[in-house]
Amino acid sequence: MAFQQPPLPFDFGALEPYGMSGRTFEFHYGKHHKAYVDNLNKLTQDTELADKSLEDVIRISFSDPSKAGIFNNAAQVWNHTFFWNSLKPAGGGVPTGELAARLESAFGSFDEFKKQFSTAAATQFGSGWAWLVSEGGTLKVTKTPNAENPLVHGQVPLLTLDVWEHAYYLDFQNARPGFIENFLSKLVNWDFVAQNLATV
């Protein structure tokens, strides 16, 4: 069965009051994400990877230089789906409950988490991703270049921010720090993060 592009968890225009335009999603979801899905299906058609899970394709292809094209498209399909779920209208702010306690334990304070996450996102040179992950039960902030993600490093992703230019240029132009601040203050889906943490 061909790899599918999951539907967005909100309408294209749902985040417009919170800094991300419907036009961004027309391009980012409708063209970029769709192209990764289409390319992945072309690259894996009639191969042993066609019937694997997306996560298995990512792990298998990451360690095989001859499958770099497959890895890049498979990981970008996964990363984008995860990113959409990291967003919600009227999100952001301060998490509560177990997640809040774990963040405070790991980073000393929620503000320190925000600082480390913002720094990771702002200092990822070129294209890539900032992540909150669980590694061996410990929460940490990390960043990855291009399509790379925590799955290939044995980490459990909890939250991500896409810092490829196509994620923010229509709304924020070259102001990546403004995009990062807007994400943390208005868009993070802390319920999704808490659900991911509960599986660790």
Q: Which residues are annotated as a binding site?
A: 28, 80, 162, 166
CA atoms within 13 A on the CB side of 188: 25
Q: CA separation (Å) from 151 to 5, 54, 71, 78?
A: 19, 11, 12, 10
Token pair, residue 119, equals 């720094």
Q: CA separation (Å) from 21 to 9, 150, 175?
A: 15, 28, 15
The span from the CA of 36 to the CA of 21, in Å, is 21
- Residue ranges for the known binding site for Mn(2+) are 28, 80, 162, 166
Those residues whose C-beta lies under 8 Å from the C-beta of residue 6, and which sit 6 or more positions away, are 81, 84
Q: At 159, is the secondary structure helix, strand, or coil?
A: strand
Taking phi first (over 0 means left), then psi (-120 to 50 degrees means alpha), and beta for anything else, what does residue 97 get? left
Residue (of 184, 179, 152) closest to 163 by Cα position: 179
Residue (of 13, 23, 9) closest to 171 by Cα position: 23
